[in-house]
Amino acid sequence: MRRLALSMLTVCGLSFVTGCGGSGLLGATSASTPSTVVLYAGTVGQTNAFEVAPAGTAPLLVSALAYKGGSTTPNIVIDSTFTWAARFVNPLTDPPSVATYTVGPAPSSFKTCPAVPAITPAVPILQQGGTGVASTVYPAYTLMTATQTAPQVFIGSVPGVTAPYCLVLQATSAVGGVIGAHTIIVSNSP
């Protein structure tokens, strides 16, 4: 079902899923408590790679989708929003599901995250435009607060921290508190 959902997103784009037809993927309202939250990276036409270049000029777009129902007939919870949090990954203390990242394209492989940096400041989560505090690294973006909700965010390199390192990004559904998370590698050569 995940492949079907990814195919629908690839063909239709995140903002047009409701207009693509396919009654099996639609139907839950934004007031529904989801059973699963899944994170997707990039935009239509790009691979779903959770990678950021440390000296890149643009941050990585990460979107979250909430699903309700079983694995054979899940419905997208339309208009879901999420609060977002991010932190550095420590491969010595985090479980393997967090302390590894995927390298693609298919067939993808898994690699272990590098050691945690000596300095680990708060990880900036960004939104495009907005009226908040401007990002020092990405001029067209502002910093999100911990209480803001959004269906998608941007993650870039952390100012003052030398790559490579891993971040774990977490999206918590505003309805029901269901959490989805994914590991992001910040490196010139993942």
* pLDDT tens-digit series, residues 54-75: 987 889 999 999 999 877 788 9
- Domain with 119, as residue range(s), is 2-186
E-strand ranges in 53-145 read 60-68, 75-76, 82-88, 100-103, 109-112, 125-128, 141-143
Number of domains in the chain: 1
Place of tokens 């790679």: 49
169: enclosing H helix or E strand = strand 165-173
Positive or negative CA dihedral for 95, 125, 63, 55? negative
Quote the pTM value. 0.81
What backbone phi and psi angles, to 5 degrees, belong to 12?
-105, -25
pLDDT digits (tens, 9 = 90+) for 76-113: 998 899 999 999 999 999 999 999 998 876 677 899 99
